[in-house]
């Protein structure tokens, strides 16, 4: 009986360790994701600065050239729209990646919880059977 209890305790400890490891991996994944998001935001900030510089340059040229002013304004507006679209697409892709990683993590956590519950039930049933025999 003590051997069975020890096996139950060992199995419970093992499952607890597995859950703790999964939680740590989740925390690590969250840190990595935050770092990637920070990096992406930095790239977007850099891109915006580049677009702003291009827009400033185009404004100066448009002011110096009456004939091409309207064309350059349209180009500036198109650059702004392109930057907005690129920004939305990049953020959308990162969000999808984050959602997929979270779903995979949640599924793995559910599997571990189910295994723990199955193991507990199995050992409780064995303990009950041993007591009755």
* Residue 12 domain flag: no
pLDDT tens, 33-50?
Answer: 999 999 988 988 888 888
Give the single-character DSSP code of 1. -
* Residue 111 domain flag: yes
pLDDT level of residue 133 (50, 70, 90 thresholds)? low
- Please give the average per-residue pLDDT across 89-99, as a whole number: 81
Write down the pLDDT at residue 32. 92
Q: Spell 35-58 as b/e; 16+ CB within 10 A means b.
A: eeeeeeeeeeeeeeeebeeebeeb
Alpha-carbon gap, residue 4 to 121, rounded angstroms: 13
Q: How many residues does the chain have?
A: 133
Alpha-carbon gap, residue 57 to 51, rounded angstroms: 10
In SS3 terms, 28-84 reads as HHHHHHHHHHHHHHHHHHHHHHHHHHHHHHHHHHHHHCCCCHHHHHHHHHHHHHHHH
Q: Which domain holds residue 45?
A: 39-122
* Residue 32 domain flag: no
* Residue 90 domain flag: yes
* Residue 13 domain flag: no
Write down the pLDDT at residue 90. 82
Return the sign of the alpha-carbon dihedral for residues 27, 30, 34, 40: positive
Res. 10: pLDDT tops 70: yes
Number of domains in the chain: 1
Write down the pLDDT at residue 66. 64
* Residue 60 domain flag: yes
């Amino acid at each position: 009986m003590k051997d069975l209890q020890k096996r139950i305790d060992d199995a419970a400890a093992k499952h607890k360790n597995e859950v703790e490891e999964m939680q740590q991996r989740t925390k690590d994944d969250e840190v990595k994701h935050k770092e990637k998001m920070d990096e992406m935001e930095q790239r977007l900030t850099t891109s915006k600065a580049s677009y702003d510089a291009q827009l400033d340059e185009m404004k100066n040229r448009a002011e110096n050239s009456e004939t091409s002013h309207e064309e350059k304004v349209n180009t500036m507006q198109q650059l702004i729209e392109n930057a907005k679209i690129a920004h939305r697409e990049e953020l959308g892709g990162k969000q999808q990646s984050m959602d997929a990683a979270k779903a995979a993590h949640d599924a793995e956590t559910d599997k571990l919880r189910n295994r723990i519950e199955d193991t507990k039930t199995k050992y409780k049933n064995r303990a009950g059977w041993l007591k009755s025999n």
